[in-house]
Each structure stands twice: as C-alpha cells, then as structure tokens.
Amino acid sequence: LKGGAAAPVADPYANEPARLPALIVRSQKPMNSETPKELLVGSLITPNELFYVRNHLPVPHVDAATYRLRVEGEGVRTMELSLEELQTRFRRHSVTATLQCTGNRRNDFNLTQRPVKGLEWDGGSISTAVWSGVRLRDVLLAAGLEDDNPDVAHIQFEGLDTDMASQCYGASVEVDKAMDPQGDVLLAFEMKGAPLPADHGYPVRVVVPGVAGCRSVKWLGKIVASDQESASFWQRKDYKAFSPSVDWHNVDWESAPAIQNMPVTSHICEPLSGAAIDDDEVTVKGYAWSGGGQGIIRVDVSADGGATWHTAELNKVPQKRGRGWAWALWEATVPLPKGAKGAVQLVAKATDESYNTQPEQAAPIWNLRGVNCNSWHRVSVNVQ
C-alpha cells in the first residue's frame, strides 16, 4: 500500500491465562471449553480449574489495586467502590450455584438433521461452584436504590472485556431478581475460598443463581440501574429462543424475551456414547439442573425407550425450596432389556420441584440459535 505497510495489529488474545489440557476446547479465541463428563460427575463442587470456560472476548487483565466498580443510573447515587471497599463495607455471603451456558447440549439439535449455528457444546458447559462475595441488593441499597422504584426495571452489567472497537460485553437482569432478598444475586470475588481465576472474572463478577450463565457478567466494571434492558447484542439479538417455525430469514428478535431462568435438564455422563457393556445391567451417572431455583426432585432412567423407568439416587447440597441453585448428581443401576445385543439407548429425564419435566425429543424445541436444549438425554451403548 502507498505510504507503507499497515502497523501489525497486536493479537488481543496474546495474554490469555494458562488452562488445564483436560478442558475440551470448542473455540480458542475467545476461549470456550467444556468440562469432560467424567470430571463433571466427579464432585458436587467442580474444581475451579475444571469449571467450564465461556468467554465472549479476550480475558482482560485487571489490576486489583486500581480496580473500581462503578454504580450509576436511575434512582441511585453514582458510586465507585474499590475491591477493598466492596469486601469490607458489605456483609459477606456464600452461595452454591450451578452456572450453565444457554447453548449447553446444542449438539443434540444438530442430531435432529437441522443444524444450528454456535459453539458445538456437548453436555459440559455447566459447572457448580461455591461463590463468595456480597449481595448485589446490599450494594444497590447502599447506592440509594429503593424497593419498587417505578423508574427502574433492569439492572445492567458491563464487563471490562472489550472488542476491537472497545465495545464491552454486557447483559442485564430484572430489578426484581437483583433486589430479591431470596434471589441470592452476588457480586462474587471468590470461588471455593480462592480469588476468582482470570477466566472466571477476576477480581469481581456477577453470579445470578438460577439464570443463564451469560447474565453472570465477569470482570464487572459497571452496574447501571435503568428502565431498559442492556442494549448489548447478547441481550437483544442472541440468547433468545423461538418456535421451530422461525429461522434466520423470518426471526423477529423483539418477539421473544431474553433468556433468564433456564428450563429443567439432565445429562448422562457415564457411560459414554458407544461404550461396550458386557453385563445384564448398567450403572448410569449424570447431572440434572433446573433454573429459577427449582431444585431437582427426581431423575428417572430407562433402557427401553421409556417403557419402564428406574429412579436414580440423588446427591445434592441441601438448599431451600425456591432457592435450589445447585445441580444434583445422580446414579442409577438399570437392567438391560432381556436378551439385548448391540445398540441399546439409555435415556434420562429429570423433574424439578415445580414438577416440570424434560420434553422427549429435540425437534419440537429446535430453535435457530440452538439454545435451551433440554430434551431427554439419550446415549447409545453397545451391549456385548
């Protein structure tokens, strides 16, 4: 080019944190990686370094010493808080909560012969942590926000992660969730007692229990009280689900609400698809979770397409009704159909405390973004 070559653009992903090779990478830049199934069912609380990673942009490097969290908008006094102020001015709370990507199990839509766009998540973009921090409600109250202020409908979050045009990641939740004393929304600075890892929002992130992971904004820079939802692409033009009759050519993004609470789901983590079974029964393990604080009350497993069901043993952290933020791990030993040889399909379905259950097939809940896949989970094994 006349005037000389363009200056080389520095790779914004040059300083990403180190990650364990055990994570299954679905995209490198930004980093998106899921937890292997056998490790998911290994512990009720996912080890921090195995927690699935869902980044939208490069990981920002934030200096805790100069970090300031800004609070502004309708009905609040503008406030800037250092990390130390956040940690010392407010009462500390811990919440055990599962986070799940809205696209978890997206691959099951691809199996319907109607492929969807998006990261090809299998069942591992879900994990559970003990989050510690302070309540968003307490910070908003300190900024002067009153309950039932009619000018405020949404609490917006802005991340410190930005794209090449300096646009940050953003999302919002309803103010009623943010201010609900039973909603347990945290500004978290610890995971399992350790400072947040860089991939999970160091030094401060939002944790919105029961809600799609995309609203739990990491590397939190700003909180805005508003009568409007976040204007971000991810709030307005993504993370919504439509009827199977809606596709990219006829989608009206405003016609569906942003996903917040997620529906009840489950996943068979063991055995893996195609596993050889040389026995007349099989031990099946997995996880189950539902959004909105609706704890899992039952998981049923079938080896005959749903004709007979076997109720699994549940392993879960005790949580109050309506605040069942954490998943259940489960295990069932299921007899194989008499004389079965070759491919046998195992299916699992969960029931939550609202008695919502999973739909049988993925096709009737197919949606163009491939989100909220919660049909019965199916795994074919090979009986010897």
Cα–Cα distances (Å) from 79 to 144, 150, 209, 231, in that order, read: 10, 21, 25, 22
Is there binding between residue 42 and a copy of itself (CB under 8 A)?
Answer: no
Q: How far apart are CA 197 and CA 207, in angstroms?
A: 14
Choice between 213 and 286, CB closer to Mo ion: 213
Contact 1, 15 (CB under 8 A): no
**244 interacts with a copy of itself by CB under 8 A:** yes
Is position 113 an interface residue for a copy of itself (rule: CB under 8 A)?
Answer: no
- Minimal CB distance to Mo ion: which residue? 101
Query: Is position 196 an interface residue for Mo ion (rule: CB under 5 A)?
Result: no
Q: Which does 101 bind (CB under 5 to 8 A by kind): a copy of itself, Mo ion, none?
A: Mo ion
Q: Which does 381 bind (CB under 5 to 8 A by kind): Mo ion, a copy of itself, none?
A: none
* 180 near a copy of itself, judged by CB under 8 A: yes
Q: What angle do CA 186, 294, 147 make, to 5 degrees?
A: 45
User: Least separation, in Å, of the C-beta of 106 and a copy of itself?
Assistant: 14
**Closest to 82 in 3D by CA, of 95, 92, 68, 99:** 68
326 binds Mo ion (CB under 5 A): no
| Least distance in angstroms from the C-beta of 357 to a copy of itself | 5
Q: Is 138 in the site for a copy of itself (CB under 8 A)?
A: no
337 sits near a copy of itself (criterion: CB under 8 A): no
CB of 290 to a copy of itself, least distance (A): 8
Does 257 interact with a copy of itself (rule: CB under 8 A)? Answer: yes
Q: Which residue has the tokens 């980044």?
A: 55
Q: Which of 85, 122, 138, 176 binds a copy of itself (CB under 8 A)?
A: 176
Which two structure tokens, joined as six digits, stand for 23?
Answer: 């994570």
> Min. distance of Cβ 308 from a copy of itself in angstroms?
6
Q: Which of 374, 290, 379 is nearest to 334 (CA)?
A: 379
CB atoms within 10 A of CB 277: 18
Q: How far is the CB of 206 from a copy of itself (least distance, A)?
A: 18
Q: In this complex, which beta carbon is closest to a copy of itself, that of residue 16 or of residue 352?
A: 352
Residue 112 CB burial class (10 angstroms; 0-12, 13-18, ≥19) = middle
Q: Near a copy of itself by CB under 8 A, which window of 64-72, 225-233, 329-337, 355-363?
A: 355-363
Closer CB to a copy of itself, residue 135 or residue 218? 135
Identify whether the C-beta of residue 258 lies closer than 8 Å to the C-beta of residue 299. Answer: no
Pairing of strands 281-289, 265-270: antiparallel
> Does 284 interact with a copy of itself (rule: CB under 8 A)?
no
The reply on whether position 299 binds Mo ion by CB under 5 A is: no
What are the phi and psi torsion angles at 127 (to 5°)?
-160, 170
Task: Confirm or reject binding of residue 177 to a copy of itself (CB under 8 A).
Answer: yes
In the complex with a copy of itself, the residue whose CB is nearer, 37 or 105, is 105
Would you count residue 92 as binding a copy of itself (CB under 8 A)?
no
One residue of 92, 341, 364, 380 binding a copy of itself per CB under 8 A: 364
- Residue 115 contact, options a copy of itself, Mo ion, none, Cβ 5-8 Å cut-off depending on partner type: none
Determine if 260 is a binding residue for Mo ion (CB under 5 A): no
List the one residue from 50, 59, 101, 217 that touches Mo ion (CB under 5 A).
Answer: 101
Identify the residue among 33, 87, 102, 375 touching Mo ion (CB under 5 A). 102
377 binds a copy of itself (CB under 8 A): no
- Contact flag: residue 216 with Mo ion (CB under 5 A): no
Give dist(CA 136, CA 95) in Å, integer. 13
Q: Is residue 270 involved in binding a copy of itself (CB under 8 A)?
A: no
| ω into 195 cis (within 30 of 0) | no
- CB atoms closer than 10 angstroms to residue 370: 25
With a CB cutoff of 8 Å and minimum separation 6, the contacts of 169 are: 56, 57, 158, 159, 161, 162, 217, 218, 232, 234
CA 327 to CA 264: how far, in whole Å?
A: 10
